Amino acid sequence: MSNITWSSNYALSDIQPVRNGSMNLLKSLEMFRAVAEHESFTRAADALSLAQPPISRGVADLEKHLGVRLFDRSSRRIRLTAAGRAVLPDVLEILRRIDGLAETAGRRDRGLVIGVSGQLDPSVLIAATRELRLAGAPPRFAPAQAAELDDLIGAGEIDAGLDVRGLGAPAATSRRRQVSDLVVDLVVASPRFAPHSEPSSISAADLRGMPPGMGFGRHAERESVTLLPEDAGLLHDSGLLTPLVARGVHLGQLRVADSEFDAVTHVFAHESVLLCTPQTARTHSLPHRSLRDVELARRVEVVGSESCDLAGLMETTPALRAAIAEILGARAHRGHAVVEGGDGRYADERLFRP
Amino acid sequence: MSETAVIDEINGVWTSLGAQGFLYAEHLGTHRSLGIRESARIPLASVGKVAVIAGLLDAAADGTVDLAQRLLVDPAHSTPGGTGIAGLLDPVEMSVRDLAAMALSVSDNAAADTLFDLVGPDRIMAVLHRGGIRSFEVTSPMSHLYDVLAEVAAGDEAQALAVAAADARSGRVPLLPDSAFNTGTVRATAKLFELIHTGQLLGPEGSETLRRLLRKQIFRHRIAAGFPMDAVQYYGKTGTFLNFRHEAGVVVDSDGSAYSIAVFTRSSIATFSQPELDASIGYCARLAIEHLRTLG
């Protein structure tokens, strides 16, 4: 018979401990935890998305297993018995440890894999991602060919991608691609620049060549500005070309190399200039300068998938965005357009001269 | 590139074109300069018009001349020339300051000589001497060139050109001595433009007016062709007569530094059309100024 008052005999008289091999001890512990937390079998059932009878059965199985009443069911509000209060801390600890087992085992299968086009510097990668966690797991960045990113996502080999698009590349067309506001500035690299000297930036005017069409026998190769194949779009982008031509760099100076090897060979053979990322310049031990008065930068495109909205993640997780910027050597693009001839110089009668 | 190499390259260009060149360029900030035969006195042709207009503005500044005064110029009786009023059929009435614009923008001989008569050689030379310029003389009007042609070749320009070109290499043309004309050195010419640029020749207001007029020059086939980019400004004056092709002025680079530049050439080829030589004036001016630019 039930007895409203608690007594130490409660535990022993009412329940006969039974070793039940078919009970799910782990599930019962979770149910016990839920009932203790919500002080109600009904609400515990809701929280675990179960009906109440399984909850009651699970808790009852646990009580039988332990040979002790864990809850006082005599009033409407369910309360822990002394025994229940005694075991609760241990149950919580046990369940917490079970939850953490996956991480303890070093399991990564929930960690994101992000494919990255372009060069990845391992040391930069490690430094940038050391503290980074997404949903408890560190994401992995893996090098990938730009052209393969979509296929790799489709095949499930990567969860998302970062595509550093060359100058003048057409805008993102697929639905899973989004243009980010991150850009990777290009520099001009040449063996004719003194290494490690100030200033570290030059004007585009310092690259200008002798006027084209005047064939006075000068060697033009040194005046070349070599573009890597991915940046060939510069030649068709009036917005990118105009500031260069305005400063005297003429179209005949721009050449597109067949490959990075061809580009670097030309630069060393003719002391000409290569337009590339600082990383590429360092790879080939080429002194480089940034261009202070024209902006030549590659846009970073974010490729998402069903399993990963990377663009959204970058927005909500500043640490991820910062790590990506560091890995790619990118910066946030200032949204405004550079206005040429702000003093109206370029809008004067020179436009109408004969 | 060393200075010797630049000079050699420039001279090589002109030698290959059958011409002799005279060049002076100076960075107006650092005063580093490059000169090639910079002390030779060469007929100025229309480059002298700059001094005429400088004299005019000087006379206007002290009230001697009224820039708004209207003058009649009759092409039937004016100095001949390939551009401007001389090519019209009927008389025109124009203000003094507009005649100045014609003289410098299209190198109008009729306009320039009208102003020369108004201002007078004494005033012109006084302005030059005040600026410390001694090797740049404008004491006769453009019509004098045509008088000499009439004397030497009965007015036949082609004949005169042949005569001039034949002895061009020696620099001595007995029938057409350089001394018959307004002459100047490229160094003095560059100095004149430096004083125009810095405002020392005429004071700030007069200099700005003169610069404004010089910016109206329509010819871009010589020095301007060496700097074909929006980011660089140039103003100056061409000069062309027989086998002489000149230009002088000021280049203001994209970083704000200014250079005076004067290039005179004398061709040994007796053709009126030599576009390569015209272009070489820009090319060599560019070589000289790029050299000065790298000197820092």
Which residues, listed in sequence order, are joined to residue A201 by a DSSP beta bridge?
Answer: A290
Q: Kindly report the pTM of this predicted structure.
A: 0.77
A106 Cβ contact list (under 8 Å, min separation 6) = none
Measured between alpha carbons, how far is B292 from B30 in angstroms, rounded to an integer?
9
Max intra-chain CA distance, chain A: 116
Task: State ipTM.
Answer: 0.85
Contacts of B235 in chain A (CB under 8 A): none
Q: Are A231 and A274 in contact (CB under 8 A)?
A: no
Tell me which DSSP letter residue A206 carries. G
| Residue A5, pLDDT above cutoff 70 | no
| Residue A330, pLDDT above cutoff 50 | yes
| Residue A181, pLDDT above cutoff 60 | yes
Query: For residue A203, what is the nearest residue in chain B, using CA coordinates?
Result: B255
> A161 to each of A150, A216, A328, how far by Cα in Å?
8, 50, 12
The number of C-beta contacts closer than 8 angstroms across A and B is 51
Report the residue from B228, B254, B287 with minimal CB separation from A205: B254
Q: Are A166 and A227 in contact (CB under 8 A)?
A: no
pLDDT in tens, B60-95: 999 999 999 999 999 999 999 999 999 999 999 999
pLDDT in tens, B7-58: 999 999 999 999 999 999 999 999 999 999 999 999 999 999 999 999 999 9
Q: Are A61 and A20 in contact (CB under 8 A)?
A: yes
| Residue A219, pLDDT above cutoff 90 | no
Contacts of B252 in chain A (CB under 8 A): none
Q: Greater confidence, A115 or B1?
A: A115
Contacts of B280 in chain A (CB under 8 A): 214, 216
Contacts of B253 in chain A (CB under 8 A): 205
Q: What is the mean pLDDT of chain A?
A: 85
Q: Are B277 and B265 in contact (CB under 8 A)?
A: yes
A292: distance to nearest CA of chain B, Å?
Answer: 12
Domains of chain B: 3-295 (3.40.710.10)
Give the residue from B262, B241, B205, B218 showing the smallest Cα distance to B102: B218
- In this prediction, residue A54 carries a pLDDT of 92
Report the residue from B13, B16, B286 with minimal CB separation from A211: B286
